[in-house]
Amino acid sequence: MGSLKFRIRKVEDKQDLMEFIRFPWRVYRDDAYWVPPLISERKAFLDPQRNPFFEHSEVDLFLAQRDSETIGTIAAIINNNHNAFHEEKAGFFGLFEVIEDYAVADGLLATARDWVKAKGMDVIRGPMNMSINDECGLLVDGFDSSPVVMMTYNPRYYLDFIERFGFVKAKDLYAYIASTDIFDRRIENLPSKFLRVAEVARRRAGVRVRKVNMKDFDAEVKKAKAVYNSAWEKNWGAVPMTDAEFDHLAYGLKQFLDPDLLLLAEVDDRPVGIFIGLPDVNQPLLHVNGRLFPFGWIKYLWYRRKIDTFRGLIMGVIAEYRERGIDALMYVEGAEEAFRKGYKRCEMSWILEDNVMMNRIIQRIGGEIYKTYRIYEMVLQG
């Protein structure tokens, strides 16, 4: 099949963009675990007028086609904020989807590599869809279940294709799963040391953990933004989100949030930590095939009632307030709400493989690695 001719061309118009967006339905048509994205969301995500990522980045989208049939897609990306923050010249590839034909994959990856190199970059990394603050990483282990909300999924053969092209591992990202049943959904059954640390934090003068006030969402988003950019600034690959990016993410997620799983830690009224648990809306989205209208909403609302898993999307404390038990206190408070509301599982993701402290904390509260994602890189020769 690899001997059949094909061409790769840039997305130029709305028709091309819809080809780009719709192509994954061909790759995953027989895969029961794939969760179709909302087409309306993908259109907005790839619209430079609606996604603030484009305000500081360069992106070109490419289609691989054989005759008039699309057989692969890829995005070539330069995130100027990443390069300024990390003082490097890095490009990225993402939104990589391809039929099971290595020749096509080779052509797509070469297109992204050459595009990035022509822009003067020294290295290319990916997959990034389209930054580390979005969905990122290639699933390399844990193909026996659907991804949770805002996590990636791909066929097994992508691993071989990307490595055969010459990419090497840059970093692994872990997804942990924890069942509430192991604690009989009772807070007092959490590890005793963990509870003691949380209780010490609770009794410290000026420390409190509270739910986010959804009636004052603008002000709460501003506080969360400050914590997020500070708490993650030293993490590998982290890039501070612009105000526009953070607002875009927050307001895009607002309709899916569970207010009981949104916690803000404060010390003397200063926000120092956040915990965001997000109901796994992929469970109902699995049944709507990418469209909420005209009848997808009915299915979505029906299956939303059956959501039994949430993702621990964000949990962090700014550096100067770490090792005070505030993280443990947020976990305990979050667990109490999750137990009360009947969630059966929590995915905690993603966690850098070398984030020793966070991996240890999650393991102590019963988390087990059940999926691994990988970010690859390739040094570009002169």
Residue 351 lies in a domain: yes
How open is the CA angle 376-84-322, to the nearest 5 degrees? 80
Tens digits of per-residue pLDDT, 134-169? 999 999 999 999 999 999 999 999 999 999 999 999
Do residues 198 and 325 touch, judged by C-beta distance below 8 A? yes
pLDDT digits (tens, 9 = 90+) for 273-290: 999 999 999 999 999 999
Q: What's the first-to-final CA gap in the chain, in angstroms?
A: 33
Q: Kindly write down the DSSP assignment for every residue of 303-314, as one continuous string.
A: HHTT--EEEEEE
Q: Over 60: is that where the pLDDT of 1 sits?
A: no
How many domains, in total, are found in the chain? 2
Mark whether 254 and 342 lie in a shared domain: yes
Is the same domain home to 157 and 252?
Answer: no
Instruction: Tell me the per-residue pLDDT of 324-364, one tens digit each, with 9 for 90 and over.
Output: 999 999 999 999 999 999 999 999 999 999 999 889 989 98
Segment 57-72 mean pLDDT = 97
Q: Which of 129, 126, 123 is nearest to 53 (CA)?
A: 129
Structural domain ending residue among the three candidates 151, 174, 197: 174
- Tell me, yes or no, whether 270 and 124 share the same domain: no
**Do 34 and 48 fall within a single domain?**
yes
Look at residues 67, 119, 124 and name the one whose alpha carbon lies nearest to residue 375. Answer: 124
Residue 126 lies in a domain: yes
Indicate the pTM of the whole model.
0.94
Whether 269 and 325 share a structural domain? yes
State what percent of residues in the chain have pLDDT above 70: 99
CA 308/CA 297 separation, integer angstroms: 19
**Interval 225-259: pLDDT, tens:** 989 988 888 889 999 999 999 999 999 999 889 99
382 confidence band (pLDDT: 50, 70, 90)? low
**CATH number, domain with residue 245:** 3.40.630.30
Residue 382 lies in a domain: no
334-354: b (≥16 Cβ within 10 Å) or e: bbebbbeeebebbbbbbbbbe
Percent of the residues in the chain that have a pLDDT greater than 90, as a whole number = 85
Within this chain, do residues 335 and 188 fall inside the same structural domain, yes or no? Answer: yes
Beta strands in 131-167 (DSSP E): 135-136, 138-141
Do 265 and 164 fall into the same domain? no
161 with 188, same domain: the answer is no
Q: Are residues 16 and 81 in the same domain?
A: yes
207 and 147 in a single domain? The answer is no
Q: Which of 174, 191, 226 is the last residue of a domain?
A: 174
Q: Which domain holds residue 22?
A: 7-174
- Residue 376 is assigned to a structural domain of this protein: no
| Residues 147 and 291 both lie in one domain | no
Q: Is residue 185 part of a domain?
A: yes
Place of tokens 């609606």: 50
Residue 378 lies in a domain: no
Of the candidates 122, 139, 174, which is a domain's last residue? Answer: 174
Q: Report yes or no on 2 lying in a domain.
A: no
Residues 55 and 123 in one domain: yes
Tell me if 256 is assigned to some domain.
Answer: yes
Please give the Cα distance from 36 to 89 (Å, whole number): 34
